Amino acid sequence: MTINTLMVDISRGGLISRRQVRLDDLGWPSRVEQMVHLGVEVLICGGISNFLYHQLVARGIQVIPWVTGDVEEVLQAYLQDQLNQEKFAMPGCRRWRHRHRGGP
């Protein structure tokens, strides 16, 4: 199984390019290495385990977890530094209470 992921390149707050990338589902070590190899700096995602979160952070990838919504709206909110809006919080998650504590 592969996971299709949208990767965008951003510079100075603006979108430069976008592309679909396939991440092999060979387990978390492979996915982390693929993201590092691709130069991922920020990962915006829905649910993520604490373990995987910490593995990504340890490799220098900023993780913004527990995000939901239309991809284009999420991307625009990120570009405008507005992802902390309640409408982007996954239902029932505690993300918004922990957003300044450095983890999910």
CATH number of the domain encompassing residue 34: 3.30.420.130
Is residue 27, in this structure, part of any structural domain at all?
yes
- The pLDDT, as a whole number, for residue 47 is 84
- The pLDDT, as a whole number, for residue 102 is 46
Rounded-to-integer distance, Cα 97 and Cα 22, Å: 32
Is residue 21, in this structure, part of any structural domain at all?
yes
- The pLDDT, as a whole number, for residue 3 is 77
Phi, psi of 44 (to 5 degrees): -105, 125
Domain hosting residue 54, numbered range: 2-98
Residue in the structure block whose two tokens are 């995987």:
52
Domain count, the chain: 1
Is residue 103, in this structure, part of any structural domain at all?
no
**At CA 12, angle to CA 9 and CA 18, rounded to 5?**
15
Res. 96: pLDDT tops 80: no
Is residue 88, in this structure, part of any structural domain at all?
yes
Is residue 39, in this structure, part of any structural domain at all?
yes
Written as six digits, the tokens of 87 are: 């409408």
Is residue 50, in this structure, part of any structural domain at all?
yes
Q: Identify the helix (H) or strand (E) that includes residue 9.
A: strand 2-11
- The pLDDT, as a whole number, for residue 94 is 58
Rounded-to-integer distance, Cα 6 and Cα 20, Å: 5
Q: Dihedral (C-alpha) 24, 25, 30, 33: value to the nearest 10 degrees?
A: 50
Is residue 104, in this structure, part of any structural domain at all?
no
Is residue 63, in this structure, part of any structural domain at all?
yes
Q: How confident is the model at residue 1 (pLDDT cuts 50, 70, 90)?
A: low
